[in-house]
Amino acid sequence: MLSEFLKGNMTFLDQVSSWEESIKRASQPLIEKAYIDSDYIAAMIENVHINGSYIVIVPEIAMPHAETDKGVNKTSMSFMKLKEPVMFPEDREVKLLFVLAATDNTTHLELLSDLSSILIEDEIKAKLKSAENEEEVIKVIEMVEE
């Protein structure tokens, strides 16, 4: 399921200037397809301003998301890999971002759960961090989904 959401929704960059920019850039494929609108990006950024870096779920990996009614048009997910980490509040380094956007709370929780369950595996995290393109990321995710 995760691999299907991620296909065509990936970005690979050397660096970004701020954690806010990282969320904006990671969300860009979903904006371009009209799966989310700019209100959703603003809500994800506001969440971090209010709640801190809770979206950094494991070292170097963040899962930006917001409430389902804040501008989600279609359940979707995107991925961004940075060569240079960006600092989130509380000095949390991030290199990988998975933007989650769901149209309802049940799907939102399922996506969070599915992604969290694969990211507890050190081998999977290492493979994602070393992936150089979309094909490699999809291969890692599909390996776990089998």
Taking only the tens place, the pLDDT of each residue in 48-80 is: 999 999 999 889 999 999 988 889 999 999 999
Q: How many other C-beta atoms can be found within 10 angstroms of the C-beta atom of residue 86? A: 23
Q: Is 80 exceeded by the pLDDT of residue 146?
A: no
**Burial class, 88, CB count within 10 angstroms (exposed 0-12 / middle 13-18 / buried 19+):** buried
User: Which residue type sits at 141?
Assistant: I
Average the pLDDT over 111-139 and give the result.
Answer: 89
What is the distance between the alpha carbons of residues 84 and 101, in angstroms, rounded to a whole number? 25
Paired tokens of 122: 């050190």
Paired tokens of 75: 């359940």
β pairing state of 56-58 and 60-62:
antiparallel
The model's pLDDT over 27-44, given as tens digits with 9 standing for 90+, comes to: 999 999 999 999 999 999
pTM score, whole prediction: 0.93
Quick one: DSSP state of residue 72? B
114: left (phi over 0), alpha (psi -120 to 50) or beta: alpha
- Give the model's pLDDT for residue 49: 96
- Give the model's pLDDT for residue 105: 79
- Give the model's pLDDT for residue 45: 97
Paired tokens of 24: 């904006």
Using alpha carbons, select from 80, 36, 77 the residue that is nearest to residue 60.
Answer: 80
Largest Cα–Cα distance in the chain? 38
Using alpha carbons, select from 1, 8, 9, 37 the residue that is nearest to residue 118.
Answer: 1
